[in-house]
Amino acid sequence: MLTQPTPVIAVLNVHYSRFGDLERADYLVTQPSVPLESYRDGFGNWCTRMIAPAGAFTLTTDGIFRDTGLPDPYAPDAQQHAVEDLPFDTLVYLLGSRYCDTDLLSERAWALFGQAAPGWSRVQAICDYVHESITFDYMKADSTRTAAQTLAGGHGVCRDFTHLGIALCRCMNIPARYCTGYLSEIGQPLPHPSDDFAAWMEVYLDGQWWVFDPRNNTRRTGRILVARGRDAADVPLTQIFGPGTLSDFEVWTHEVDDTPGGNVPAP
């Protein structure tokens, strides 16, 4: 609900790296309809800007994506690069950022992980530590909480787990970046929570980026990437430039029956 006409930037469309998996495009639809202008930001994310009118305003996307159904890739022998050997475009992901306050965590990180084997084992040790040290509590979500505050408080949501994992990796000279997107509960044992957007991280080892998930700390299937950045400040799902109140939020993921005559669920 908006009290006045308000500029909005939305980052709600699938990342270009998954375009080839689109069976039905996830077009952004607004109600009421307004002119849309799209562009790619400095991190390669597809963004849409608009001016939302005063009153109730709804944003919707709904697509069909083909996924392999395979779990996140696993490469336990992946090695860590020396800082001087890292590609230039990864160096920004070594720096502190809005929510990843490496300056406050560096000493702790080296005390905890300085003796861990560099590479995949060190990143996994960081994920294990974050997963075991932080309690997931959706009711205590806080959009201003930093990685150091998450560790001090001992609770958070998926973005907080991710920020802490990223910050600790950067402290250990491992490039790490923030990812947001869909992670369905399809195939997970019941009972499971309602679908939601999820946060995870990618780390740079052995010449490529690898998925790690401090929140779940297990290989999962069906990740659909929407956006990447240094942290959540770079990839807000919606950025509004004025006062507004979120009145409802729903995320759905359904497994589609793609056999002849199979049903496609309605959103």
Angle at 169 between CA 73 and CA 150, to 5 degrees: 110
Q: How many CB atoms lie within 10 A of CB 69?
A: 10
- How many other CB atoms are there within 10 angstroms of residue 234's CB atom? 20
- Here the tokens at position 235 are 């990839």
Residue 257 has a pLDDT of 72
pLDDT digits (tens, 9 = 90+) for 110-159: 999 999 999 999 999 999 999 999 999 988 899 999 999 999 999 999 99
> pLDDT-based confidence at 265, cuts 50/70/90?
low
Q: Which among 255, 163, 138, 151 has a CA at the least distance from the CA of 214? A: 163
Closest-CA residue to 34 (of 63, 13, 6): 6
Answer yes or no: is pLDDT of 12 > 70: yes
For the segment 170-225, what is each residue's pLDDT rounded down to a tens digit?
999 999 999 999 998 877 888 877 788 999 999 999 999 999 999 999 999 989 99
Domains of the chain with CATH codes: 83-233 (3.10.620.30)
Q: What is the pLDDT of residues 23-46, one digit of tens each?
A: 999 999 999 999 999 999 999 999
217: left (phi over 0), alpha (psi -120 to 50) or beta: left
Q: What are phi and psi of 156, to 5 degrees?
A: 170, -175
Q: Which residues pair with 116 in a beta bridge?
A: none
Task: Please count the other Cβ atoms lying within 10 Å of the Cβ belonging to residue 230.
Answer: 21
pLDDT at 263: 58
